[in-house]
C-alpha cells in the first residue's frame, strides 16, 4: 500500500470549497483595482527598460507621471499606446521622452480608443510570444536531457555579488544540485522599484535585477550543457515589485519563483490590498511562462510552533492554491511550501512531521510540494544540525516531495561556505539513494499515530477555513490568524500605489492571460454543507 494516509476526502473537498469562496471574496476586490507595480510591469512587458538621468527606472518615471496626471485609472498601456500613435514612437522611445521631460502623456488628447486597444493587443501578443518561446526552449531541453529523480536538490547562493554567485552556483550544480536559488538582498522587497544592471554588493543576498537574472541564466545554461542535465534557476517575485520581478523572470527564463499570496503581508508588512492585487497579475504571467511558484507557508513555523500550528500551514496552502488557480495556474506549477520544524525535544516529533508531510501530499497530489529544512531549532551545534537534516531528508524521500531545499549544518552560524553546501548535498544524496523506494516497502498503520495526527490537523484546518470564510480573509489576517502576525487592511507599505480601475481601464494582458485552469467565478454562494466541489 505504501506510505499513503487514509484521509477523509469529504473534509479535503470541504477545505477546497471554502478556500474557493474565501479567495472569491478577495477576487471581487482585485478585479476592481490596479497598482503602480502592475502598470510598471505592463511597460516592461512592452519592452521598456533602463533608467533615466538620475538612475530612476524608466517604468517608474512613466507611471509616476501618469499617476500625477490622474490617469492611472485608464492604465499605463492606454497612455503609452496613445503617445505611440500620436508621435510614431516605440514604447522605449516614449519612456525616454518622458524621462527627458519632452513628453507628458496624460496632457495630450488621447488618440482613437479603438486604435489604442488594437496596438496594445498587438504589443501584448508579441511580448507573450517571447515568453512562450522561452518556455518552449526550456521544455525542449528537459525533453532532451530528462528530469532528475524527485526530490530535486535545491540549494541557495547568497554572496551579494552576482559574479561570485555564478561561481558558487556552477560549483553546486557540479556537486549535484538540481535547482539554484539566488537569495535576494535583504529588504529589496520594500523597494518600490527594480534596480538596474549587474550588482556586486548586497546584504545577505544579491539584488534581483534583469541583468543579474540574465547573467545567472547564462551561467546555468553553460553548466547544464557541461553536465547534460537542465539546472533550474530560482529567484523571488515578492514585495512591492512582485509583478515586475515576475515579468523579468519570465523574460529571462527563470524556472521557479517564490510567489506567495500572503508572505509580504505577514513578514514584510506590505499592505494587504496591494499584495492581493499584485499577486494575481504576477502569477498570471508566471503561468504563461511555465514558472513553478514556491509559496511561503514554511515561514509560519518560524514564528509559531510546528506541532500546534500545522493547521494554519495547511489552510494557507489551500488558499494559495485557489489564488493561483484564479490566475490561470495549474497544480503542476504550484509548489506549496511546508517545513520540517518540529521541536527536537518533542517525543515522536519525527512521526508528527511525517504525518504532516503525508497530509500535504494527500491534499495536493498534483502540486510539486516544496519541503523546507529545519531552521528554528538549529542551535549552532553542527553535529546535531547535520543529524536533523538527515531526518528531514528521510521524510522528504519517503513522502515523495518534489522540491527539497537542502538544510545546512551551519544554519544559525553563518552564510554557508562552499563546503557546507557540499556536505548538505552529500547528506541528501546518501539518504535519497539508500531510501529511494522507502515508500514501497512500508505502509501507514490504519488508525495509528500518523493517521490520527493527520485527521486532527485536517479537522482543525476545515474549522479555521470556516472561520476565515465567515469573517473574510483581510479581517482574518487583521486578527492574526496566520503566524500570529496581525496586519491592518489599510496599514503597511504600498497602499498609496493602489488605484481603482476606471470604466475604460485598459490592460491587454488581462485579456490575453485570461485564466483557464481552475478558473472560477469571482463570487458565489456559500459552500455546500457536504463540501462537494470540482476538485480544485
Q: Any idea which residue has 509616476 for its cell?
A: 64
Residues in CB range of 532: below 8 A, 6 or more apart: 13, 17
Q: How far apart are CA 212 and CA 194, in angstroms?
A: 11
Is the pLDDT score of 412 beyond 80? yes
| Paired residues of 404 in beta bridges | 153, 371
pLDDT for position 517: 43
| Domains of the chain, first to last | 1-31+295-484 (3.20.20.440), 33-124 (no CATH)
370 is catalytic: yes
pLDDT for position 514: 66
Burial 306-317 (b: 16+ CB within 10 A, else e): bbebbbbbbbbb
pLDDT single digits (tens) 221-271: 999 999 999 999 999 999 999 999 999 999 999 999 999 999 999 999 999
Is the pLDDT score of 522 beyond 70? no
- H or E stretch at 70: none
Q: How far apart are CA 291 and CA 524, in angstroms?
A: 30
Which one from 178, 255, 278, 298 is the annotated catalytic residue? Answer: 298
Is the pLDDT score of 525 beyond 70? no
Is the pLDDT score of 529 beyond 60? no
Which one from 370, 371, 493, 505 is the annotated catalytic residue? Answer: 370
Whole-prediction pTM: 0.94
218 is catalytic: no
CB atoms within 10 A of CB 228: 9
pLDDT single digits (tens) 152-206: 999 999 899 999 999 999 999 999 999 999 999 999 999 999 999 999 999 989 9
Q: pLDDT-based confidence at 511, cuts 50/70/90? A: confident
Q: How far apart are CA 18 and CA 463, in angstroms?
A: 10
Which one from 78, 193, 236, 263 is the annotated catalytic residue? Answer: 263
pLDDT for position 415: 83
φ, ψ for residue 447, nearest 5 deg: 75, 5
The fraction of the chain above a pLDDT of 70, given in percent, is 95
165 is catalytic: no
Are 392 and 427 contacting, i.e. CB atoms less than 8 angstroms apart? no
Burial of 456 (0-12, 13-18, 19+ CB in 10 A): middle
CB atoms within 10 A of CB 466: 15
Residues in CB range of 451: below 8 A, 6 or more apart: 5, 6, 7, 355, 444, 445
Are 98 and 57 contacting, i.e. CB atoms less than 8 angstroms apart? no
Is the pLDDT score of 536 beyond 70? no
pLDDT for position 515: 66
Among 73, 77, 82, 44, residue whose Cα is nearest residue 60: 44
pLDDT single digits (tens) 333-375: 999 999 999 999 999 999 999 999 999 999 999 999 999 999 9
Amino acid at each position: 500500500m505504501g506510505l499513503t494516509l487514509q484521509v477523509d476526502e469529504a473534509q479535503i473537498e470541504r477545505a477546497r470549497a471554502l478556500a474557493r469562496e474565501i479567495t472569491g471574496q478577495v477576487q471581487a476586490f482585485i478585479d476592481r483595482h490596479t497598482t503602480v507595480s502592475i502598470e510598471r510591469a505592463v511597460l516592461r512587458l512592452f519592452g521598456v527598460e533602463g533608467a533615466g538621468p538620475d538612475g530612476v527606472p524608466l517604468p517608474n518615471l512613466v507611471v509616476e507621471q501618469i499617476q500625477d496626471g490622474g490617469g492611472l485609472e485608464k492604465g499605463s498601456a492606454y497612455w503609452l499606446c496613445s503617445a505611440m500613435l500620436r508621435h510614431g514612437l516605440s514604447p522605449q522611445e516614449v519612456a525616454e521622452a518622458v524621462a527627458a521631460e519632452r513628453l507628458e502623456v496624460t496632457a495630450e488628447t488621447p488618440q482613437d480608443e479603438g486604435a489604442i486597444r488594437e496596438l496594445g493587443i498587438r504589443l501584448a501578443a508579441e511580448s507573450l510570444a517571447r515568453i512562450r518561446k522561452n518556455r518552449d526552449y526550456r521544455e525542449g531541453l528537459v525533453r532532451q536531457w530528462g528530469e532528475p529523480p524527485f526530490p530535486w536538490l535545491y540549494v541557495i547562493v547568497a554572496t551579494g555579488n552576482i559574479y561570485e554567485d555564478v561561481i558558487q552556483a556552477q560549483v553546486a550544480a557540479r556537486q549535484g544540485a538540481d535547482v539554484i536559488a539566488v537569495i535576494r538582498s535583504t529588504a529589496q522587497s520594500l523597494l518600490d522599484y527594480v534596480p538596474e544592471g549587474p550588482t556586486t554588493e548586497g546584504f545577505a543576498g544579491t539584488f534581483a535585477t534583469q541583468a543579474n537574472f540574465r547573467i545567472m541564466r547564462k551561467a546555468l545554461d553553460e553548466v547544464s550543457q557541461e553536465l547534460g542535465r537542465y539546472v533550474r534557476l530560482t529567484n523571488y517575485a515578492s514585495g512591492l515589485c512582485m509583478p515586475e520581478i515576475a515579468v523579468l523572470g519570465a523574460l529571462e527564463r527563470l524556472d521557479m519563483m517564490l510567489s506567495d499570496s500572503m508572505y509580504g503581508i505577514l513578514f514584510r508588512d506590505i499592505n494587504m490590498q496591494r499584495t492581493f492585487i499584485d499577486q494575481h497579475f504576477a502569477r498570471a504571467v508566471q503561468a504563461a511562462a511555465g514558472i513553478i511558484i514556491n509559496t511561503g507557508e514554511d515561514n509560519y513555523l518560524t514564528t509559531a510552533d510546528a506541532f500546534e500550528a500545522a493547521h494554519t500551514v495547511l489552510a494557507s496552502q489551500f488558499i494559495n492554491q485557489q489564488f493561483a488557480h484564479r490566475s490561470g495556474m495549474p497544480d503542476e506549477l504550484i509548489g506549496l511550501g511546508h517545513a520540517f520544524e518540529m521541536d527536537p525535544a518533542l517525543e515522536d516529533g519525527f512521526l508528527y512531521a511525517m504525518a504532516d508531510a503525508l497530509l500535504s501530499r494527500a491534499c495536493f497530489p498534483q502540486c510539486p510540494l516544496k519541503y523546507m529544512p529545519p531552521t528554528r531549532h538549529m542551535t549552532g551545534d553542527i553535529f546535531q544540525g547535520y543529524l536533523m537534516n538527515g531526518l528531514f531528508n528521510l521524510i522528504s524521500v519517503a513522502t515523495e516531495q518534489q522540491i527539497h531545499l537542502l538544510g545546512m549544518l551551519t544554519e544559525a552560524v553563518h552564510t554557508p561556505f562552499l563546503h557546507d553546501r557540499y556536505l548538505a548535498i552529500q547528506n541528501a544524496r546518501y539518504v535519497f539513494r539508500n531510501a529511494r523506494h522507502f515508500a514501497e516497502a512500508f505502509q501507514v498503520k490504519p488508525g495509528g499515530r500518523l493517521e490520527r495526527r493527520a485527521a486532527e490537523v485536517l479537522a482543525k484546518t476545515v474549522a479555521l477555513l470556516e472561520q476565515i470564510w465567515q469573517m473574510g480573509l483581510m479581517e482574518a489576517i487583521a486578527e492574526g490568524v496566520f503566524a500570529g502576525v496581525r496586519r491592518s487592511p489599510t496599514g503597511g507599505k504600498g497602499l498609496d500605489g493602489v488605484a481603482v480601475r476606471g470604466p475604460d481601464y485598459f490592460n491587454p494582458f488581462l485579456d490575453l492571460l485570461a485564466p483557464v485552469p481552475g478558473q472560477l467565478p469571482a463570487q458565489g454562494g456559500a459552500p455546500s454543507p457536504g463540501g462537494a466541489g470540482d476538485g480544485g
